[in-house]
Amino acid sequence: MEIALAVAVLGTMFGLLSAGVWIGITLLLCGYVAIEFFSPAPSGSLLASTVWDGSWPWTLTALPLFVWMGEILFRTKLSEDMFVGMSPWLRWLPGRLLHVNIIGCAIMSAITGSSAVCSATVGRMSVPELRRRGYDEFMAIGTLSGSGTLGMLIPPSIMMMVYGVVAQVSIGQLFIAGVGPGIMMMLMYQVYVIGWAKLFPSRQPPPDPPMSFGQMFWASRRLIPAMSLILLVLGSIYGGLATPTEAAVFGVVGSLLFSAAQGTLTWPSFQEGLIQTVKTTCMISLILAGGNFLSIALGFTGLPHMMAGWTAGWGMDKYTLLVVLTIVYIILGTALDGASMILLTAAVVLPMVANAGIDLLWFGIYMMIVTEMSQISWPVGFCLFVVQSLTGCSLNTVSLATLPFMIMLIIGIVLIAAFPEIVLWLPHQMVNKPG
């Protein structure tokens, strides 16, 4: 029965995906097949109740708000302000302004929570400027598309909200847990750029004219709006002043005020941002509803518990299981986006992970890193498409330029597996602090 169930569900899934059916509808239909033909439970009533229950949790309220905040900021001059504000302070680093892509994407990640918005917003300013100054285009492309993945890891992250809802893990704790690994990955990217610059000094343009400390300090004023939004959103969460949903409200209000002050908040741009927010939120909500129903359906069939038992029977320790899952997710990343990877596998993988004794909070950050891989995996990586549209280069060129960053993400998984406190130390400190 187990083999027939797996064949039926996987056959339905791949058949519908190959036909171009939406991911959310595919998940709903896969769940319907599983429960209708392999369980005595009533499929119709379960479908209705599961979709309804999955559509109104309070934790999902933050999702459209963070998406809207990103859409508002996408239409501002924030990337230009960051470039002008950061560039004077990075001229002493080997690789110089290539670090603007990395740090700029990290800052945008801490504001918008979206990889696509990070790459597009920073790239609109940095790509033309780096070309004008004569920087190596291959490295400029790689740092932009690779660093755009930080949007999933550095909080607030939309994918963290998706995982938190599916795995029933605190979204606030996930946000806190993402800080250490996010900083780690940003520093690894910078070390790579420094090493490349040391090896190939001839592929860098001549240094910019020197600036006085006063000029550098004056240029830094352009960073005030971005840093203010970061402090407003993340500071309110980490300081215990607001929940993620309340912090998202602060972020939307702050981004609207920031956009109005810049003169970029027009009625057409306001409407366009709202429409795109509704589209993105509806897409993610439909996928979540489908994923919830598939999880419930497979739970009635008993498949997740059987697979967890198989894992125990195979004698795989948690490290072997993580190696297997990483290989599976790298393969899935060549065909699926991040949200689909999480939701397609959650029903089976989460019981296996829990059975192996892996902390689900830690596993959430692991999922963010492997999901980042899907953003830069050929041929469907969304960050690759964004950077391709910004640069006009071929998809193969963008993929090759981003390959070192894919390797660093794998190294990042090894590091957090070897030293789990990189993920867990800060959340434990926040939980155990006095008062």
pLDDT at 434: 43
Task: Give the position of tokens 């995906």.
Answer: 17
Average pLDDT over residues 27-36: 85
pLDDT in tens, 342-351: 877 787 788 8
- 79 pLDDT band, cuts 50/70/90, is low
Sign, CA torsion 59/60/65/68: positive
More confident call, 101 vs 412: 412
- Is the pTM of the predicted complex or chain greater than 0.75? yes
- 335 pLDDT band, cuts 50/70/90, is low
pLDDT at 194: 93
**Contact yes or no for 160/174 (Cβ under 8 A):** yes
| In the predicted structure, residue 283 carries a pLDDT above the cut 80 | no
CA pair distance 342, 368, nearest whole angstrom: 9
With b for 16 or more beta-carbon neighbours within 10 A and e for fewer, the 23-40 pattern comes to bbebbbbbbbbbbbebbe
Q: Would you kindly state where each structural domain of the chain is located, as residue ranges?
A: 2-432
Poorest-confidence range of 42-46, 52-56, 231-235? 52-56
pLDDT at 63: 76
Cα end-to-end span (Å), the chain: 53
| In the predicted structure, residue 36 carries a pLDDT above the cut 60 | yes
The dihedral region occupied by 40, where left means phi > 0, alpha psi between -120 and 50, and beta the remainder, is: alpha
CA pair distance 219, 232, nearest whole angstrom: 22
pLDDT at 241: 82
